[in-house]
């Protein structure tokens, strides 16, 4: 069993690694972007490389991405459903880019 925590990506995404280490984590969960906005996030390649290098050096594994709180893949409203699917796909792609295990969402 590995113990970890959901840590903030505030400031720069690689700061999440520092926060996880300060808590004594062996694994971590982060949001790919703001959990309360639909706005997609685009991290610069160097920021993702810093995150990956720090995570590798720290041995923090697995990484899990938490989807935005707004998603509702069971929505009857087609516009909300489309936004939800797009947000889930973005989170899944973020997990893939960071070498994460997968995504978590609330249904």
| Per-residue pLDDT, 45 | 96
Average pLDDT over residues 19-45: 96
Q: How many CB atoms within 10 Å of residue 63?
A: 22
pLDDT of 7-17, one tens digit each? 999 999 999 99
pLDDT of residue 104: 97
Read off the pLDDT band of 28 (50, 70, 90).
very high
For residue 107, pLDDT over 90 is answered with no
Which pTM was predicted? 0.92
Domain segments of the chain: what residues? 4-104
Q: Cβ distance 22 to 56 under 8 Å? A: no
Residue 43 to residue 61: CA distance in whole angstroms = 21
- The Cα 68–Cα 91 span in angstroms is 8
Average pLDDT over residues 33-47: 94
On whether the 4-104 domain is CATH 3.30.420.40, my answer is no
């Amino acid at each position: 069993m590995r113990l970890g925590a959901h840590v903030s990506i505030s400031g720069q995404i690689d700061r999440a690694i520092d926060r996880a280490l300060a808590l004594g984590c062996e694994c971590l969960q982060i949001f790919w972007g703001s959990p309360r906005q639909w706005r997609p996030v685009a991290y610069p390649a160097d920021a993702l490389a810093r995150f990956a290098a720090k995570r590798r050096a720290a041995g923090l594994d697995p990484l899990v991405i938490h989807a935005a709180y707004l998603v509702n893949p069971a929505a009857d409203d087609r516009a909300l459903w489309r936004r939800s699917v797009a947000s889930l796909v973005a989170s899944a792609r973020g997990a893939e880019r960071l070498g994460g295990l997968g995504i978590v969402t609330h249904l």
